[in-house]
Amino acid sequence: MLISVFLIAASLAMDAFAISVSGGILFKRMKLSQALVFGYYFGVAQAAMTFIGCALGSLLSTWLVSVGNLCAFVILAIIGGKMLWETFHKNESGDDFNGSGEKISHKKMFVMSVATSIDALAVGAGVIGLEPRYSAHIVFCGITIGAVTFVLTVIGALLGKKLGGAIKTYAERVGGAVLILIGLKILFFS
């Protein structure tokens, strides 16, 4: 069971990892404290959505998969589309992914972390909450999913920093496209 939980956690964390790499590239000077904020938002959102999904269980599992995926797609497509639009209509003030180039937009972080955690909600409701071998260990599963997401998101943000600002405009375009593609993946393949 332990290996299965880590594999579930790692697969759920891949969307957050991709977004954090883009964020790490787009920040002018990504600091460890900022990378930890990325990890905090995405890790807490994944764990919380897993617990919420477990609590809702079979009651809403079918509805969550169908409507939740659509909601996640719409949110990510809007954010990704806005990022793409801004790269072609950018002002010289340096307005970007995080709003100022230096400070994290907590509103954007919250929205993106919740949108990318819809699959954790569905997994919590449909797998962890209903499968006996997981449901007996709901707290362990939720905490593991959150912790793995936290670690991978921090690594992703720091990796993005290493890729550097030299590819910033292209990274913003790729980041916007990645958000849209993640939304499509959630909509059609979750």
The CA distance from 21 to 76, in Å, is 16
pLDDT at 54: 82
pLDDT at 149: 95
Mention every residue, 6+ apart, whose C-beta is less than 8 A from residue 26.
Answer: 96, 97, 98, 160, 168, 171, 172, 175
Query: Does residue 42 have a pLDDT over 90?
Result: yes
pLDDT at 108: 86
Burial readout 137-152 (b: 16 or more C-beta within 10 A, e: otherwise): ebeebbbbbbbbbbbb
Burial class (CB in 10 A: 0-12, 13-18, 19+), 33: exposed
The CA distance from 4 to 116, in Å, is 21
pLDDT at 97: 47
pLDDT at 151: 97
pLDDT at 30: 81
The CA distance from 146 to 154, in Å, is 12
8 A C-beta contact, residue 108 and residue 76: no
CB-facing half-sphere around the CA of 177: CA atoms within 13 A: 7
pLDDT band (50, 70, 90) for residue 55: confident
Q: Which is more confident, 159 or 187?
A: 159
pLDDT tens digits along 79-120: 778 767 777 776 544 444 444 455 778 888 998 899 888 878
Mean pLDDT, residues 32-54 taken together: 92
pLDDT tens digits along 128-184: 655 666 667 788 888 999 999 999 999 999 988 887 655 656 666 776 787 788 778
pLDDT at 126: 67
Start-end of H helices in 89-167: 106-115, 118-123, 132-135, 138-163
- pTM for this one? 0.72
